[in-house]
Amino acid sequence: MTETPKTRFTPRIFSGIQPSGGLTLGNYLGALKRFAALQGGPAQTIYCLVDLHAITVWQEPDKLRRNIREAAAAFMASGVDPQQSILFNQSQVSAHAEMAWLFNTVARVGWMYRMTQFKDKAGKNTENVSLGLLAYPALMAADILTYQATAVPVGEDQKQHLELTRDIAAKFNHDYGVEQFPITEPLIEGVATRVMSLRDGSKKMSKSDPSDASRINLTDDADAIAQKIRKARTDADPLPGSLDGLKDRPEAKNLVNIYAALSDETPDQVLARFEGQGFGAFKPALAELAVAALEPITRRMNDFMADPAEIDRILGEGAIRADEIATPILERTKEIMGLLRTRP
């Protein structure tokens, strides 16, 4: 028996954001800011607006189109350069859907039912949710592996999905005796990969929270940003000199982490500067920093949104570039599985 030769995968980073509207500070610090920073490195960067994931629950079509463009504007306003990176929306590259079906035959039903996000979204209504909501982790795996991505920047709450992607890749490679897909590595870095609610430090900042005061939206103006930070829940104790002192103070820890992420410092560096001070001093400093960082992004987003045709053009060009990578990988996968290709 001859030994299967090792495959050298091109270093590629892939990630995506669901265009469901209402991007927040959490999306910026946990994703968009990091995406921009990864450009120009040794790995090719591919970023996707995962609109096929969005329609696992019903979407109003005109609103979805706007949300896709708004998300693209947020990527670019945050520093993602469509010339350095590939930026596109998922539904324009049909290889994603085709590869997802192939992975539906590899993944096991039990894997899908164990996914925490499915349990959270479906609740007790599992019989009436869309089949797509159950199966979409296979589409997520397809998003990544269609480009043979070697790394994916993820937050702590997304690790389970990447583990499933790794399981699908490993099972495919084992079942067919090939090394078609890499075992994609997570990129978990930074001090604010999981930004928490301004009203409850135990919950993630989310656009679905009923209270708008719980989050900073990327569309908020300077006054709204400053006011939300001033009203953010904290405690009466002064700030300690190190992060260990915030172990049982989730709201305080969240604000310090946000400051550190916006200023590109460590939390301990921030605390060394504010040690012994209360939030009466810290919150104004954080508000000033947040406004300085986010107001230009909001302004650039508005500029991009004023020309939707240009956004569509950029996404279309990105889709062509993405398709050039994805199609050969998809065709090779089908060939491995024994599917005939009769068209030239």
DSSP 37-86: HHTTSSSEEEEEE-HHHHTTS---HHHHHHHHHHHHHHHHHTT--TTTSE
pTM, two decimals, is 0.90
In this structure, of 1-5, 51-55, 197-201, the range with the lowest mean pLDDT score is 1-5
Q: Is 171 annotated as a binding residue?
A: no
Residue of 6, 119, 171, 204 with catalytic role = 204
Report phi then psi at 21, rounded to 5: 85, 160
Contact 195, 204 (CB under 8 A): yes
Q: Quick one: pLDDT at residue 2?
A: 35
Does the active-site annotation cover 204?
A: yes
Q: If you average pLDDT over residues 185-200, what whole number do you get?
A: 83
Residue of 121, 171, 253, 334 with catalytic role = 121
Contact 115, 107 (CB under 8 A): no
Round to whole Å and give the CA distance between 164 and 116.
12
Round to whole Å and give the CA distance between 145 and 131.
22
Contact 141, 168 (CB under 8 A): yes
Beta partners for 13?
45, 151
Q: Is 143 annotated as a binding residue?
A: yes
Which residues lie closer than 8 Å to 272 by C-beta, 6 or more apart? Answer: 241, 242
> pLDDT tens digits, residue range 240-260?
999 899 999 999 999 999 999
Which residues lie closer than 8 Å to 200 by C-beta, 6 or more apart? Answer: 214, 233, 251
Residue 341's Cβ-count burial label (10 Å; 0-12, 13-18, 19+) is exposed
> pLDDT tens digits, residue range 67-102?
999 999 999 999 999 999 999 999 999 999 999 999
> What is the pLDDT of the chain when averaged over all its residues?
92
Helix (H/G/I), strand (E/B), else coil: 2: coil
Does the active-site annotation cover 283?
A: no
Q: Is 94 annotated as a binding residue?
A: no
Which stretch of DSSP H or E encloses residue 17? Answer: strand 12-17
Report phi then psi at 57, rounded to 5: -120, 155
Residue 114 per-residue DSSP state? T
What domains, with CATH codes, occur in the chain?
A: 12-193+307-337 (3.40.50.620), 212-303 (1.10.240.10)
Does the active-site annotation cover 171?
A: no
What angle (nearest 5°) sits at the alpha carbon of residue 149, between those of residues 85 and 10? 80
Question: What is the band of 235 on the pLDDT scale with cuts at 50, 70, 90?
Answer: very high
